[in-house]
Structure 1
């Protein structure tokens, strides 16, 4: 008679009997509650049988085996009911099948033994059944916890700990039995009191879940972690058998060899579990062989939206690239967006690096093969596949900067309706990675969403600017009112002047000056009103206009220098274009010290006239040029400027069909290049001059 065993299992029987009574009185007819009542009652009976075994000193192994099988099976079915749809079908069927198998073995094996057919040692049969039950129960507990919401976990944690304690101890007990080929008496008798300690935790969980209507959901991660637990359990079992074999053949050094063997096994296991490549290979294997879909779209979409709407990064482009890259595990990428003219795509954002560090081209023409292919086919380009089979992509000419870098893997179009507004280039995700049809569909969806998101952000910016322009227009209305009064006064002086010519030379000069001022003010008023006559485009000599602008700016240092050259004719409003050139030169003077230099040159290149204004001033950051230089109402001059000059320069040049490019580096000066279409007839002159020279 084992007094401690009697007390241990007796306390356990009494504890679970009380729990059963409490659950019956509080039961509301739900399936989970019914399973829990049965499991608690069976556990009470199981503990009573083992208490009797401790008292009698001997109970047939078949009776103990049946008690263990019923108790473990009842808890397995309870866990399946609690997990609900969170348990993969094959795992739930495995739990039910194991219960049937263990009960069938209790019938079949005694019959075989009765006919003299000994299949397995009864003690080992008991231990192996216990190992199977405990391992499967722990897997079910793990999946319940991992796939429950945060709210459900608060009420489930005591249930997980309580039931987990029962089967974790069983796993330890029966592992020892397998190693020692015998049941440890101390471990066996201590089991009852440990079960009694777990009962209050299960009772608290039942109190917090009176109807056991649990908030769980299906996740493919469950299979990954369940597989991990299963593999680890199998690994430990194999290592246990290996350790036993080492001890048996090791003689005097057997125990030492077993310890060294187990230590090495643990080190190997730790290395495998913490291996990132192994985890990636496992995820890919599970996705290919156990799931129809490669991604858990609910999780991926929620993460994508959460990243895209985060406020961690002010640049919406960087956030968009990060949101797309993290889905595929890509280490980074960058984004090209169509500019306002629609003629080219400019580098807009990169993550996690900066655009300036990537060595990307300044622009990609919209007429090149790459954007044309993306716009017409709307395909995802896999650069690895393109290198192997370019004919699959119509043998398009791929840019060298894209193909020369092996790590650039994916090119995905960004479409708004059917219009290409940009494209994303992602770096090669970690291996193993294969771009499947599912990846392509997902990238297309993400690209459209990002395009809409950026378009919305751009629309918000334009709305803000339009409101600022509205305030600016109100200001110009007051300016026109004042200017009209000044013009009226000046014209009155001019009209009365013939009657007051007492000092002819002075009066003539004054009248000429006043008449000129009146004429300039009239033109200013016409421009402010948006008069079409003020914007009439006629042939104008760009060099002559530059000369006038240089002359007006020569009163301050550094004095600008105009390079020699032939006339270059363009179509423009001469007065307005001259003001634009003057603004560019004055900005160069503002940025350059008196000892510096400002150079102006005029020429042509192909069918375009070129005006270059170069200085040796302080220069500008690439980020400032890209994001602030041409943004209206963003001035670096404080109260002295309105921040609209550079914006007006670029808008007027674009109105004439040209464009503006700026190259600058801090401390290295700035190069301001204006390109304009040559006037008709100027092409032949330019070609003739080029031949004669």
Structure 2
């Protein structure tokens, strides 16, 4: 039994050090560590007193224990003012005199008035533990500790009752731990005040509660990184505190139990009984404060003690199964109308959809209007549009029942009963999704003469309407996305073709520029004629591709000698490029390529290299086979590119640094290479040239 105080001291020191070492710079952490240190010191002196063999030693340790006890009110008051406070300095300045008194007054009792601390020396109680009668100073210290315990418990109650959500989840066990520590003190202090004896056997309950409190607080420490949290408690919460009431009831009960104990003469297990009661209360509070348990018993009450009108699980499962896989709005609306009609016994259900501009309302599905009544539907649509434009501005949006007179004043001018009868509407529910009004759900002719929809009906109807509106909006967005992708594909292919025309124009332009200079050279005339012929053929091929722009990149693969293809392109460009081009071709196997597409790739790379190099620059095109891939390399010693441009712009469409450029060439090149199952790599530094490598699988697209 005597080991309990030392174990309690160890747990208290461990808790304080754990919080302090987590973040030493926080004032609230230092105060918590000091609070736990004071409790630990008190427990140590309790243990030493219990082990004393003489009344003089017991008296010495009891006096030291009183000094440690006197530190508790001031330290815990400072902690309470700094914990869960936005700025701890403000409360301390506001209550500085109370803080000073909470230190000075308790400490003066065991020091300045030490002679009045006890009446006589400690004596052995009937169960071999020391007990001493407190003097006036000792009695005053007990009263101060009583007020301290009540103050701490009131603060913990305020925190717990005012907290919600994640903050409550974090502090719940911290509050329970501190509550255990000071709840036990209420019991021990009440015993001292009632019986006018400090019994060390009873004081052991404080140490046991300290162990339990430290364990509970450790649970909170795993949930919160620091104790520097901000929390505001309203004044109403302060005034409605139940702690004072609970303490008053407690003292009445303790007084009655004490009288009963004296009458029966059985006080052997009083401390043990108190400990068991404390454990039971702590366990019960932890159990009742569980968020999961609270949710479970609320659900159980709703499920077992209130019979719902609908089995919502079955209704929701059937509704979602019928609507989630539908990709056509008209089919979706038709299914929703049938489900609502069948579920609520409503004969006339109509779903009206609005366009984005709120200029038109068309009937998407109905069990009221037949498809043959076109003029009737058009007239009703115009009236529904008037209704929708008014309801759009109403906040909160109403669920209308015109037979009950539940009409906002904005709808009085629509025409009353005749208006709603003309559109076959008794109830009207908005179809809203993402804050937008996408349509109206109108209901009429409920089975039964005086039948009206109940709150449960409206709840389920609102849920179905929200889900239907969400599905309608998703289908519209999906259709818009599909059209946008088609347009994007069209624009991409158009850009590719225009870029090919631009490359061809550049090639022919170089030929025309060099024509006056080299016209007398027969070889040049031959190359020029070949270039013009190839250009005309290229134009014919591109014109054929214009007929199917939306199909993306299509490949016409055939076995190709890449070296022959490179030589053919080089022969056509070397003259216009001014002799910059040099070949370094290694033997490589044939691979399947779209020759026309690949000619465009190589032409684009060579023209880019030409634009990046000076007149005396050099361009080297080489081929090699490596690790099952054919590697085509185009290297120049031109101006190069920055890393930022390569990462953010090079292969992105419509981004270029060239005057008159389109920013599509390298994007097109990358797209075609990847369509062949290959990839393109680039190495470059500003001022040091550029190397492009096109890597293609030798065995075809993988």
Normalising by structure 2, report the TM-score.
Answer: 0.34
Structure number with greater Rg is 2
Normalising by structure 1, report the TM-score.
Answer: 0.35
